[in-house]
Amino acid sequence: MTGSEPRAARRMRPRALRRNELPLDTVALARFLIGKLVVRELEGERLVGRIVETEAYLVGDEACHAFRGMTERNRSLFRPRGHAYVYLAYGTSWMLNVSSQAEGIGEGVLIRALEPLAGADAMARARGTEVRRDLARGPGRLAQALAIDRALDGADLCAKGPIWLADDGAKPLVVGESVRIGLTKAAERVLRFYARGNPYLSGPKRLSP
DNA sequence: TCGCGGATGAACT
DNA sequence: GTTCATCCGCGAG
């Protein structure tokens, strides 16, 4: 690789996000993460996806798993910001969240969808589908594509381990917002964020104008 | 494109 | 026993 590529088109090598650059506010973090990367190191292969959809879960928010305090399941949500909280939903789908506050405060950001950037073949194998748009469109599919399960619960996403968050220097995306998806409690709160116009979004189209 | 019903496992009442 | 931060397949519009 030489410097002949036009500057505007050149993409930085993914740089791990530092904990101290993550916004202290959970909603701000949910917006900040739109356009950033999830990097998954799996069996010597690097799977990368751009985050295009997130949701915030807050203190005092009935839909937040921490609403009734810390339990064995949700303890990772109370870790300092930048740690993974992974749990199984509906007995079938793993969910990847990023803890977002100081130690002891249970807030987080659910990563709902990725645009595949690297390792799409491995994602397709894990998902059992060749449909690129469906590889990581939705939190359960995303986890399946990246082989995310209980073993990654509590992982430090600001360290280059099996899974980490990164910035590739891409131009910031235009962020839209809507109510969150699939909730029965606090369903009216506008805490979902997405990359406007991106084809890899989950949920009904009316929520992503 | 949307909405519905079943599958599924763990936490919690 | 009930409740899910979901997915898939299917049928209707």
- Residue-wise pLDDT for A22-54, tens only, equals 999 999 999 999 999 999 999 999 999 999 999
The spacing between the Cα labelled CA in A156 and the C1' in C8, in angstroms, equals 32
**Angle subtended at Cα A192 by Cα A108 and Cα A190, rounded to the nearest 5 degrees:** 105
User: Is A154 in contact with A80 (CB distance < 8 Å)?
Assistant: no
pLDDT of residue A12: 83
pTM: 0.94
- pLDDT of A132 higher than 50: yes
- Give distance CA A184 / C1' C3 (Å): 10
> 10 Å Cβ neighbour count for A46?
13
E strand residue ranges, chain A = 15-16, 37-42, 45-57, 84-89, 93-99, 108-118, 163-167, 175-178, 192-195
Q: What is the pLDDT of residues A178-205, one digit of tens each?
A: 999 999 999 999 999 999 999 999 999 9
Instruction: State residue A178's pLDDT score.
Output: 96
> What number does CATH give the domain A7-194?
3.10.300.10
- Give the helix/strand (H/E) hosting A142: helix A139-145
CA of A73: nearest nucleotide by C1' is B11
Mean pLDDT of chain A: 94
Domain ranges for chain A: 7-194
Nearest one of A35, A58, A16, A60 to A196, comparing CA atoms: A35
Q: What does each C-alpha distance from A34 to A55, A71, A126 come to in angstroms? A: 10, 29, 24
CA at A3, C1' at C8: how many angstroms apart? 47
| Protein-contacted positions of strand C (CB under 7 Å) | 3-8
What's the whole-number mean pLDDT along residues A148-165? 97
Furthest-apart CA atoms within chain A: distance in Å: 56
Closest protein residue to C3 (Cα–C1'): A90
Distance A142 CA to C6 C1' (A): 11
CA distance A209 to A16: 31
Task: Return the higher-pLDDT residue of A7 and A151.
Answer: A151
Nucleotides in chain B with any atom closer than 7 Å to protein CB:
1-3, 7-13
Q: Predicted confidence band at A10 (pLDDT cuts at 50, 70, 90)?
A: low
Least confident range from A1-15, A93-107, A170-184: namely A1-15
Distance, Å, A206 CA → C12 C1': 19
Q: Which residues touch strand C (CB under 7 A)?
A: A 55, 57, 63-65, 77, 85, 89-93, 95, 97, 108, 110, 127, 129, 134, 138-142, 180-185, 202
What pLDDT is stored for residue A2 in this prediction? 45
Residue range A70-81: mean pLDDT, rounded: 95
Amino acid of residue A183? L
